[in-house]
Structure 1
């Protein structure tokens, strides 16, 4: 009687203190489970209602296989999240509270792992577990055990409102048997069973895209090609995941205005969509609300322009010959002047004529006339002098022909002077932007002096913003000295349709944003993130993504043949010559003024000398 009363008292105390008996088989099972995972593991044993000796034994066994354990739900570093394995005993009174706390903290999502154990006969707190957000990316295993035998079931819901799906993972009876067909979670969760996954499509060029995008009829490829390519890839991904495609439309990519997101990013942030159209990773604030997956429709946002003509950036009249040739010509001119002068002096001893060379200045004038292939009224009279002049004109005629031919080529040649953003900022060309939504935001993202100077040229404070339609902007690019900031691929398509072959050879681009490639955004914390990421990579590796891209996007036009075309010469082309002429006029005027001044001084001096002589005579 006393023994029965004592046993009843002990059971009462155990239930009162929340201690539930778990034997060594549970410890060995958990140890085998951790070993089978084959991953770095930190075991979280929070609020387990087991006897302390069992918990100590479990921690000891876990440490023997190189893993750690903790009794706290809070982990200091986010870099350990993928190592965490939470162990919950549904038979404990606090299990429901732990499940509620995990739901509140989103601990059922990736990369956290869960091992939920229960006695086979009890199945306590199952309702709380079944109502939890255990979605497609959740790695939760329910282990029901009795008498040393455990059956393992994986639990997940294909959608937040879907029913719970259980899949056999294995069993344990002294040793663990894993029956998973694939260890990768993606392979086991890739069937979302028809759940609707919604995509936000950015439409900016034409409202007709709403129709052609869904039909996938490849009509009007010049409009919203990025959205069409993204939709075709994503729809194929939905088919691979057995998901029902959903769509919404937005008129902008999405930027933060007065603390509120807009456009596609707002669709993702608010939950109206799960993923969006390919976009540039230009705004770091987006990383707080979206995660980027793969590059479905690669595009570039660039300043697109034709390189300025060579005469606009360099003195082409000094470029036909190298420095050594110019030095040789100068030496030749000096020697020719000296020999002609000596010959003229020898001739002058025998008599002078009206056209006879008789000074060094006359010899220099004749030499410069030969260099410019011009005649001169002064010329030698004797055979020796004329032979020297003939050789001089003949030699310089060949140089003059080569020089003229090179000048004609250089007048039509483009330069390569703009290769970087600083060079573009310093170039004397018009900077403008395509009149679309994103250009109103990207120019305000950087406060660096270089970017600010370019922004002020596109959006002047006291003037009208230089925004143009795509057709108008491309036409201005064709005329030259104009740079348009836009998504490059639609501009390339317009260039292919409107430019001559010779006009495609000097197309150049400069990156203003200096950002990463474009990627597809997915809502932050979406349970479908890993599924979408993997199927996107499979589509890309299969070549389907490349085939779709080539149907819609046009690459940068290639210069097949550099065909010379007629181009008229303007004042800017003759700028060095005009400057030289102005210098010559200025020097001539200065010399005339000097000669007049000297002449007047000489006359005044002569008059004063005569007066002095007369006074002396008197």
Structure 2
């Protein structure tokens, strides 16, 4: 036991004396890392002696936040990056002969962009300025995080950060701080804020912005709202992104496109193509978020509450139900049926009793108005009472008259309740259309606003219900697809049982213009597209991404986006005069009655034909003689 303790004591003593005092460069690196207050994994490309490398590993591994340190040669492929890229810090000594090749390898894999961090041990201050020829042709753009440490004297370093707004522009230098062996790192206040906030001054550098223009008149004045229904989405987006150029002190160069851009034949077109294979840095028109687009553009903010849905007025109740079955609940119908059977049975018993009691009376036997105990006559009497019609047969006794009085009174009350309910139901609307399946199975006609995104998204639907809606309701085979202008669709929505897929914010402005107050009630909405949220986007992995994002969020926080939305887009109209007018009864409302009438006529002729056949079969001779006499 004592020997083990002695052994570990000797090992610790050896380590304490064997590892020399850390060099200034190593202490500098440790202080810069500590100032960032982030979890860090260090990759170093230095040409130091092994003892100095061991010092670096020993010092960084024994901090409050231990760091892993790996040394690599000029081949970047040998580096295994951490799972979280933002933890990676790259340390480089420009005095090494292979540094230039290392920079080229790093640049090929875009390691100078966000979120990678760099500490570069540069040349001495008296030899060169911060930006040496080693950084020529490197894309250190506004999202880069490169700290250059230049030796000022034997005990101090001057730290700077360099970047360009564009590869063709001049270098910009930020003073990061001063490091001394006595006081350590003194970080300047100017660099304590985030990089995206510090580097927002573009000094009138031009930002190329792609816009979707559906009407060439918009190009001359995208601010104009006199014709608010033309290129509304583009005008709204243009006005909402306009303050960002002042925020960035940048100029704007517009690139126009006739469509948003959709994936066809392995590539994108339109505005997305301008950001993927063109020169555009920012999209000036909002874009619907889809999974395939996330691979080619970055989504920044959602400034406009654009919502694209099927809008329809609640159809009359008769479009979904048979009105003549709705006045009573199912249990009430069952009770009425039972009541009819009971009354028919009582009538039969009463008629049988009167017939036996007065069968000896010659007057009663010859009286055609006396109700006979036959099922046919009882049925005719009950049907007459139900339909509020009279009957030439009746019960003659006091008890029978009381039964008949109760019969007709009961059905009079039921008839009054039924008729009143029918009148109310004829003016009622149906609220049963809640889903796309309900919309598909309804009697409503469907139409779609004629826009590029609707022309693209509707035909490619694969979900069964959505696919059926397009194939059976919007574009049946052999017919022209039911795409129409916004104004025509809203007018049709006002006059007919019709569901119109439109941009609600624009469509409701026309609803306010054309609809009467009572017609604004009962407007319902059902979404067809899976996702209709729209975003301002930028080029994938753009060096300006975080700067754009902060600027756009500041615009929203200051209420500028909300102001434009209130100015351009309309909300769903409030219902203030429900029941203000009454609509005429149409064929759909009472077609069940017509069907019943038609079926009754057919049944009557069928029974007449059966009676004729039965009569001829039962009385063949009399029929022949009758014909001969004629």
Structure 1 vs Structure 2 CA RMSD: 2.7
2:196 to 162, 186, 191: 186
Tell me by how many angstroms 1:26 deviates. 0.8
Q: Specify the alignment match of 2:442 in structure 1.
A: 427
* C-alpha contact 2:319 2:442 (8 A) present in aligned 1: no
SS in 2 for 1:246: strand
Q: Is 2:93 the partner of 1:89?
A: yes
Q: Counterpart of 2:455?
A: 440
C-alpha deviation, 1:564, in angstroms: 4.8
Equivalents in 1 of 2:150, 2:85: separation in Å? Answer: 26
Which residue is 1:614 aligned to? none
| Cα separation, 1, equivalents of 2:477 and 2:350 | 70
Query: Are 1:529 and 2:545 counterparts?
Result: yes
Q: Which residue of 2 aligns with 1:56?
A: 54
User: Which residue in the other structure is 1:354 paired with?
Assistant: 368
Task: Give the drift of 1:123.
Answer: 4.1
Asked whether the 8 Å contact 2:41–2:82 carries over to 1, the reply is: no
Q: How does 1:284-299 map to 2 (within 5 A)?
A: 284-299=291-306
- Measure the CA separation in 2 of the matches of 1:376 and 1:523: 86
Residue of structure 1 in register with 2:279 after alignment: 272
Given that 2:490 and 2:507 are in contact with CA atoms closer than 8 Å, whether structure 1 keeps it comes out as yes
Q: How many residues align?
A: 582
Q: C-alpha separation between the residues in 2 aligned to 1:78 and 1:247?
A: 40
- The equivalences for 1:206-225 within 5 A come to 206-213=215-222, 216-225=223-232
Secondary structure of 1:486's aligned partner? strand
User: How far 1:529 sits from its partner (Å)?
Assistant: 0.8
Q: How far did 1:88 drift? A: 1.6
**Cα deviation digits, residues 195-229 of structure 1 (max 9, x gap):** 2223222222x43322342xx35322222222222
More moved, 432-441 vs 28-37: 432-441
User: Which position in structure 1 is the counterpart of 2:528?
Assistant: 512
Instruction: Return the match for 1:196 from 202, 206, 211.
Output: 206
TM-superposed CA distance for 1:554, in Å, is 1.0
Equivalent-residue separation in structure 2 for 1:59 and 1:230 (angstroms)? 52
Deviates more, 1:189-198 or 1:459-468: 459-468
Residue deviations 1:406-438, cap 9 Å, x none?
Answer: 212222322223222233233343333222222
Query: CA-to-partner distance for each residue in 1:11-31, whole Å, 9 max, x for gaps?
Result: xxxxxxxxxxx9711111111
TM-score scaled by length of structure 2: 0.85
Whole-Å separation in 2 of the counterparts to 1:262 and 1:291: 17
Provide the secondary structure at the position in 1 that maps to 2:189. Answer: coil
The separation in 1 between residues aligned to 2:525 and 2:283, in whole angstroms, is 27
Deviation at 1:42, TM superposition (A): 1.5
1:162-181 alignment, distance < 5 Å? 162-174=169-181, 175-181=184-190
- Provide Cα deviations, 1:173-200, integer angstroms capped at 9, x if missing partner: 1322222343322221222222222322
CA distance in 1, matches of 2:208, 2:381: 85
Q: CA deviation at 1:491?
A: 1.8
Q: How far did 1:278 drift?
A: 4.4
Q: Which moved more, 1:339-348 or 1:143-152?
A: 339-348
Say if 2:310 and 2:501, in contact at 8 Å, map to a contact too.
yes
1:538 to 543, 549, 554: 554
Deviations 1:548-596 (A, max 9, x none): 2111001223323312533233332223323333443444344334333
Q: Partners of 1:420 and 1:444 in 2: how far apart?
A: 20
Picking from 442, 460, 476, the partner of 2:492 is 476
What's the counterpart of residue 406 of structure 1? 421
Query: For structure 1, which segment, 439-448 or 161-170, has the greater mean C-alpha deviation from structure 2 after superposition?
Result: 439-448
1:112 & 1:97 partners in 2: Cα distance? 18
Work out the CA distance in 2 between the residues paired with 1:586 and 1:185.
Answer: 86
Cα distance in 2 for partners of 1:280, 1:471 equals 23
Give the match for residue 138 of structure 2: 132
Give 1:606 deviation, angstroms.
10
TM-score of the two chains, using structure 1 as the length reference: 0.87
Say which SS state the counterpart of residue 555 (structure 2) adopts.
helix
Aligned counterpart in structure 2 of residue 241 of structure 1, from 235, 248, 251: 248
| Counterpart position of 2:32 | 33
Is 1:393–2:408 an aligned residue pair?
Answer: yes
The 1:231/1:602 distance shift into structure 2, 3 A limit, reads same
Which stretches in structure 1 are left out of the alignment for 5+ residues? 1-21, 608-618
